[in-house]
Copies of this chain bind each other. A is one copy, B any other.
Amino acid sequence: MSRMKTAKSGRSKASNIYDVARQAKVSVFTVSAVVNNSGKVSDRLRRRVEAAIRELNYRPNLLARSLARHQTHTVGIIVPDIVNPFFPLVVRGAEDVAQNAGYSVLLCNSDNQRQKEEQYLELLLSKRVDGILLTKTHGPFSPAQQRLLADARVPLVLMMRTIPQFRSDAVVSDDLQGAFEAVSHLARLGYRRIGLVGGPLDVSNGRARWQGFRRALKSYHLPYDSSLATEGDYRVESGYQAGLMLLPRLADSVYVANYLMTAGLMKAAEEIGLRCPEDFGLVSFDDYPWLGCFHPRLTTVDLPKYDVGAEAMRLLLRRMNGSAARPMIEKLATHLIVRESCGFALRMKKPVGEREKPVAQLSESRSAVYRQPTE
């Protein structure tokens, strides 16, 4: 008799491999072989098993399988905050690749808090994920975490941020080059007092974007005025505060290291009564589908968010499959998109042909296909 009652009758527990074996009058091995399409099974038995599976509506318990096989086909992704519009695309890139390879994704938000991050890390390891994708909060791993990770021998790939003194794979955007291009663009347009709303200096991409800014200044023989450089935390409010500081100091333009801070700065400009690009030029960092639809239409440096996630997951998959290559850092190319906030139309001084080309390559970049978000 079937263990899983049919249709109407009182429902009992889900059927397992033994039920199927009994129903098909074969051994569990045969059932397992059929289900996993492994080993040789005669057509006769295979058909019997398949019939039984259908009748009992059997579906393997992946939990049990994971326990037996020592792999869960699940990866963990820890990002600061999925609500920051930067991360959905990263996560989506990772998820697409994962899904395609038969893996599911456990999503965690650290809120940039080291404690939350650590808790999630432990949880993921306890859940025996096969790998981890991480956008690390500021600061290094604690010794406890290092040991944890080493002991668990679970591959980990960093996204967007690297950590000094910690050798591991990482996929990042070429932030230094991107910031360099952004600021160079302003310099080429003739701006002389270029302000910076930078990212946090305690994370690598914050530092890189800062560096790109300084190198571009130097490259165009512009002085570095520290009163025009502020450190933000990638959130709207810090951009707003920065705007209140910078703009009254007669910055004639500004490079803002991410989108949310740009929004904050625009708000500040509005309150102060300054218009962009008429009163000051602006280049932002990170593009979104709606940026070309509202005013000022933002000139920005597009970051390969989707590809960062996708590449990170590909790298992780390779590690999970036992790749022993030495840790590598992949750096994905950025791309300047000129619209109006930089004041290009107002100050056009360069031939049009040049406007979307980088002036110089500061570091090697890897081109990548950018996938447009679907909605």
Interface residues of A (CB under 8 A from B): 4, 11, 14, 57, 59-64, 66-67, 72, 74, 80-85, 87-89, 91-92, 95-96, 104-109, 111, 122-123, 125-128, 147-148, 150-153, 234-236, 259-260, 263-264, 266-267, 270, 289-290, 292-296, 373-375
Question: Given A63-B128, A375-B84, are A296 and B294 also a contact pair (CB < 8 Å)?
Answer: yes
Complex contact A128–B62 (CB within 8 A) = yes
Determine how close the nearest CB of chain B comes to the CB of A18; give it in whole angstroms: 15
Q: How far is the CA of A141 from the CA of B81 in the complex (A)?
A: 32
Q: Report the copy number of this chain in the oligomer.
A: 2
14 contacts between A and B (CB under 8 A): A14-B151, A63-B128, A81-B374, A82-B91, A82-B95, A83-B92, A83-B373, A83-B375, A91-B107, A95-B108, A104-B106, A236-B290, A267-B293, A294-B295
What's the least CB distance linking A34 to chain B, in Å?
16
Cβ–Cβ < 8 Å partners of A290 in chain B? 236, 259-260, 263
Please measure, in the bound complex, the distance between the C-alpha atom of A125 and the C-alpha atom of B12, giving whole angstroms.
16
Whole-angstrom distance from the CB of A242 to the nearest CB of chain B? Answer: 14
Q: How far is the CA of A60 from the CA of B128 in the complex (A)?
A: 10
**Residue of B whose beta carbon sits closest to that of A261:** B375
Q: Contacts A62-B127, A67-B63, A84-B375 hold; do A105 and B106 have CB atoms under 8 A apart? A: yes
CA distance A375 to B86 in the complex (A): 10
Q: How far is the CA of A91 from the CA of B88 in the complex (A)?
A: 11
Query: Shortest beta-carbon distance, A56 to chain B, in Å?
Result: 10
Across the interface, do A63 and B59 meet the contact criterion of CB distance under 8 Å? no
Distance in angstroms between the alpha carbons of A194 and B109 in the assembled complex: 42
